[in-house]
């Protein structure tokens, strides 16, 4: 029996299911099956991105599920993202259309600017141009100009909602000053070791939902060091999990949910997909929430390598405190 995931009301009135399936690093020939299993278990919100290279397989899976009549298009919440090599205003539409064609849909529910930093592409948009030191070259594009092109996708009925990802509050503020359509979400890394409280509260004060990515600390990342903690073995989370008859992963997801975030987590295994959606039948106490918040160590895990090589970009988002 499929569980029902609660929805959050966005600042434009649309509803977003509060829990979604992440698909970054889900391998080819695994991701389509994961999407089908997830939908079978009650997931309706699926997160992907042009740069993940899996939109086509996800699109095939969605096509099957929709043609089987298991769900209707309007019950699904499909999210994808404009990659950094498409941020020049004249490239936005073609970047979006590639995603839409891959997904084989007429519209997406949410389209995000993947990050504030535009990158120069090489021969193809998937190749980022580098200098002789191997450093990626930035493209001289202001994300505000990108935003104004992305807004046209809403006007044309191609994206129901639009938002940003990996933006700091000053960058969002610049968008809000000119926006015809406000960003509905800022999708950022959030978990017990990186709580982002100031940015979360700032976004909430502007009715911008924070979508928490890597809520399980990007478990299984190949660049993890042996000494680094595993969220599923954290002593505090273990004790809280035991009290509720839940797992550490479920407590970490519940932590995001009770802070008002939408949360996206990736798995390609049915048992974990089930475990991760089974988080709406218990509640953390205020004391538990405060104690989990105290685990914060401002540890950016998911994107640590990726961000490290983009620190000199003029729109690098993390020089700001939040």
Ligand X SMILES: NC(=O)c1ccc[n+]([C@@H]2O[C@H](COP(=O)([O-])OP(=O)(O)OC[C@H]3O[C@@H](n4cnc5c(N)ncnc54)[C@H](OP(=O)(O)O)[C@@H]3O)[C@@H](O)[C@H]2O)c1
171 is a contact residue toward ligand X (CB under 6 A): no
Q: Which is nearer to ligand X, 152 or 272 (CB)?
A: 272
- 143 catalytic residue (yes or no): no
Q: How far is the CB of 112 from ligand X (least distance, A)?
A: 7
Q: Which pair of tokens denotes residue 63?
A: 């096509």
- CA–CA gap between residue 70 and residue 310 (Å, rounded): 42
Q: Which residues pair with 45 in a beta bridge?
A: 20, 77
Within 10 A of 71 (CB to CB), how many other CB atoms are there? 15
Q: Which range touches ligand X (CB under 6 A), out of 134-142, 155-163, 172-180, 266-274? A: 266-274
Determine the 3-state secondary structure of 148 from DSSP.
Answer: helix
- CA–CA gap between residue 264 and residue 256 (Å, rounded): 10
| Binding residue for ligand X, selected from 44, 45, 181, 219, defined by CB under 6 A | 219
Q: Which range touches ligand X (CB under 6 A), out of 95-103, 145-153, 172-180, 260-268? A: 260-268
The answer to whether 59 and 32 have CB atoms below 8 angstroms apart is no
Residue nearest to ligand X as judged by C-beta position = 22
- CA–CA gap between residue 90 and residue 196 (Å, rounded): 33
265 is a contact residue toward ligand X (CB under 6 A): yes
Q: Which is nearer to ligand X, 153 or 218 (CB)?
A: 218
22 is a contact residue toward ligand X (CB under 6 A): yes
276 is a contact residue toward ligand X (CB under 6 A): yes
Burial of 21 (0-12, 13-18, 19+ CB in 10 A): buried
| Binding residue for ligand X, selected from 217, 237, 256, 261, defined by CB under 6 A | 217
Q: How far is the CB of 69 from ligand X (least distance, A)?
A: 27
Residue 274 to residues 42, 59, 242, 255, Cα–Cα distance (Å): 9, 22, 18, 18
Nearest to 136 by CA among 308, 300, 301: 308
Report the site for ligand X in 283-322 (rule: CB under 6 A).
302-303
- CA–CA gap between residue 100 and residue 159 (Å, rounded): 10
187 is a contact residue toward ligand X (CB under 6 A): yes
254 is a contact residue toward ligand X (CB under 6 A): no
Binding site for ligand X (CB under 6 A): 22-25, 47, 114, 165-166, 187, 213-220, 232, 249, 264-269, 272, 275-276, 302-303
- Residues known to be catalytic: 52
């Amino acid at each position: 029996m499929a569980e029902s995931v609660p929805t959050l009301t966005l600042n434009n009135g649309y509803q977003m299911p509060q829990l979604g399936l992440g698909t970054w690093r889900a391998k080819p020939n695994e991701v389509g099956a994961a999407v089908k299993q997830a939908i079978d278990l009650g997931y309706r919100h699926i997160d992907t991105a042009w740069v993940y290279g899996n939109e086509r397989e996800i699109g095939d899976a969605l096509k099957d599920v929709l043609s089987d009549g298991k769900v209707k298009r309007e019950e699904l919440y499909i999210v994808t993202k404009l990659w950094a090599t498409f941020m020049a205003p004249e490239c936005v539409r073609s970047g979006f259309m590639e995603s839409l064609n891959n997904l084989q849909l007429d519209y997406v529910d949410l389209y995000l600017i993947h990050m504030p930093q535009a990158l120069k592409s090489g021969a193809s948009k998937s190749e980022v141009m580098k200098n002789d030191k191997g450093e990626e070259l930035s493209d001289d594009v202001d994300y505000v100009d990108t935003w104004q092109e992305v807004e046209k996708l809403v006007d044309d009925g191609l994206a129901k909602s639009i938002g940003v990802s990996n933006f700091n509050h000053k960058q969002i503020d610049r968008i809000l000053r000119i926006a015809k359509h406000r960003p509905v979400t800022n999708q950022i890394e959030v978990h017990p070791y990186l709580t982002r409280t100031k940015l979360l509260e700032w976004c909430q004060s502007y009715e911008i939902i924070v979508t928490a990515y890597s809520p399980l600390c990007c478990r299984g990342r190949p660049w993890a060091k042996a000494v680094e903690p595993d969220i599923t073995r954290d002593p505090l989370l273990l004790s809280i999990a035991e009290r509720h008859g839940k797992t550490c992963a479920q407590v970490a997801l519940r932590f995001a949910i009770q802070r008002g975030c939408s949360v996206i987590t990736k798995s390609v295994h049915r048992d974990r997909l089930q475990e991760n959606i089974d988080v709406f039948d218990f509640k953390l106490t205020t004391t538990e929430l405060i104690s989990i918040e105290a685990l914060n160590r401002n540890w950016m895990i998911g994107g640590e390598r990726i961000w490290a090589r983009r620190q000199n970009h003029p729109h690098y988002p993390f020089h700001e405190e939040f």
